[in-house]
Structure 1
């Protein structure tokens, strides 16, 4: 028996240290700045360097041709360990998640981060209960603005137009404003704008610039009708619970300091730069400036949209979400942004 134990111990010693912990990670849209500037370097370089024995296999959901509504359910099933994408892609399975990114209540990056931080406890509960996942971070795309291949001078000019929304709450808002919400995936928008399937589409200014929406649209309305399109990074809960406390702490600390904080820090200046890149009004650090017509949103436009949001859209969401979600939202996000769902 002693000889057998000794041989087993020797075999283990010859095998060297325990195998490294490997995470399979699925990032968001590979063509967009959030992935290129923050997600990819964080997961492929920064985190493996910060956590001893950690290896990462990294790809993106569009490179895997995943259905957008499948990303988090597959995460919960353990098909991969970590996933990140726009929270609005998951609202069909979790309508209460729409309360994370409400249009027109946060007009600066600081306000948006305050809104997100207030919502995090709710979001964490939703991901644990709906997707068997642990929320690690919430990062922004820049504010979701309006690209139109149609002449507009104000919000009133969008009445009757077909508009691709960036999320369900945005679609409800657009419909309440008199536009027709049309469901078109991000990658299909350029063709839809060019062929008249939609007249306008909502996305981040930087995303639209990177994806070439300026080639098929003429007017830019920088009113944040689509909120900030929050991107949630989450880990399969079984995988998270399998990690020791030190590894969990190291991952949490690094993802906040090296991914989440830098992404938020760049969000506000990114909007200014992206508008300059799209319209030629100012310097464009990303490349060649384009010549879209900048439509300045008036105070009347903002007040009209905000009134419809608070009187119609948010109460409709509260009813659809059910339970105590309206009260939880009032006590957290609503308290930060100064809005109460009646």
Structure 2
């Protein structure tokens, strides 16, 4: 009976609305499927309900707040809000070692990408602890970052000499190694840049490009994951996390893994197939009206050349910036999983 009463008291303390904690949460791009289908329902419905009233969540997104994408985790570190999520590549100016989370062309399926992310997670946790005073709660994918072009291309070689918007620093270096010019253009500014000839091509997720209307200003789609999977990291301010009870920490950790991460990853592979169908008309489009972009088939030679550029140029350059310790950790974790090694 004593044990029962103790357990009941603990449960009541966790679930009582009178003791509810408020969480301010900043989500990723509000217009994209990851936020609409997974982030928003989890934070506004699933988690508050699972807490039995112990958590009240106020959710917005960084674009609704007009935040610079590079400021999202900096402000999280300062405790301006409690939880934030955005693309890890947006933070590499502050943490170059974070580029090792989402390396182009080492994961070609959702299962491979999940294995890569799981291997990288201890490194990511250390980076967020040290750089952004935060604790990692989840890592979820955007679909693979493919190439939209407002120019006639037939393969990877045709990117040489073109101006291409990259989705991250490593992708920009990758493009430059292929002979293209990597250009830094904000996601929201890409349609105008493509239409006005400021850039010839741009890299983003197929679904993101469909949702944002890039098919209106581009003609050719090259479905090679030059930008990786654009991992979105969800993190909570470390001071806020450490102030929570162990019961509440466990609840958040378990629920975000089961009700946010798992379904987001489960949908990732089918999302790519569906998004390509929506952009090109090659297959059924569950998201709406199919478009008629030209689908450029990726050849074995394209993959071979891209992988050679990655191993011989891009990864060694990253290792030099991040440092030998991070390169060694990457080799022993991500590299071991994907079969790629920096330094031979």
* Length-normalised TM-score, structure 1: 0.95
CA drift at 1:322: 1.1
Q: Is the partner of 1:105 in helix, strand or coil?
A: coil
Partner of 1:225: 226
CA drift at 1:292: 0.1
Rounded to whole Å, the distance in 1 between the matches of 2:254 and 2:284 is 35
Rounded to whole Å, the distance in 1 between the matches of 2:100 and 2:59 is 29
Matched, 1:202 2:203: yes
Rounded to whole Å, the distance in 1 between the matches of 2:49 and 2:58 is 14
> After superposition, what is the alpha-carbon deviation per residue over 1:38-65, rounded to whole angstroms, capped at 9, x for unaligned?
0000000000011131100000000000
Rounded to whole Å, the distance in 2 between the matches of 1:327 and 1:255 is 30
Unmatched 5+ stretches in structure 1: 1-15
* Length-normalised TM-score, structure 2: 0.94
Partner of 1:157: 158
Rounded to whole Å, the distance in 1 between the matches of 2:331 and 2:243 is 35
Rounded to whole Å, the distance in 2 between the matches of 1:196 and 1:98 is 29
Partner of 2:129: 128
Please provide the CA RMSD for this pair. Answer: 0.8
> After superposition, what is the alpha-carbon deviation per residue over 1:233-274, rounded to whole angstroms, capped at 9, x for unaligned?
000000000100000000000000000000000000000000
Rounded to whole Å, the distance in 1 between the matches of 2:317 and 2:247 is 43
> After superposition, what is the alpha-carbon deviation per residue over 1:172-195, rounded to whole angstroms, capped at 9, x for unaligned?
000000000000000000000000
Rounded to whole Å, the distance in 2 between the matches of 1:178 and 1:227 is 19
Rounded to whole Å, the distance in 2 between the matches of 1:334 and 1:250 is 32
Partner of 2:27: 27
CA drift at 1:225: 0.3
CA drift at 1:17: 6.5
Matched, 1:185 2:202: no
Q: Say which one has the larger Rg.
A: 1
Rounded to whole Å, the distance in 1 between the matches of 2:323 and 2:116 is 21
Partner of 2:277: 276
Counting only pairs closer than 5 Å after superposition, residues 7-156 of structure 1 correspond to structure 2 as 18-52=18-52, 53-156=54-157
CA drift at 1:18: 3.8
Rounded to whole Å, the distance in 2 between the matches of 1:225 and 1:286 is 24
Rounded to whole Å, the distance in 2 between the matches of 1:139 and 1:320 is 25
Partner of 2:339: 338
> After superposition, what is the alpha-carbon deviation per residue over 1:268-303, rounded to whole angstroms, capped at 9, x for unaligned?
000000000000000000000000000001000010
Matched, 1:249 2:250: yes
Rounded to whole Å, the distance in 1 between the matches of 2:282 and 2:292 is 8
Rounded to whole Å, the distance in 2 between the matches of 1:183 and 1:207 is 17
Rounded to whole Å, the distance in 1 between the matches of 2:32 and 2:168 is 18
Counting only pairs closer than 5 Å after superposition, residues 287-326 of structure 1 correspond to structure 2 as 287-326=288-327
Partner of 1:166: 167
Partner of 1:286: 287
Rounded to whole Å, the distance in 2 between the matches of 1:30 and 1:54 is 22
Unmatched 5+ stretches in structure 2: 1-15
Structure 1 runs, 4 residues or longer, greater than 4 Å off? none
Rounded to whole Å, the distance in 2 between the matches of 1:115 and 1:200 is 27
Q: Is the partner of 1:324 in helix, strand or coil?
A: helix
Rounded to whole Å, the distance in 2 between the matches of 1:17 and 1:85 is 30
Partner of 1:7: none
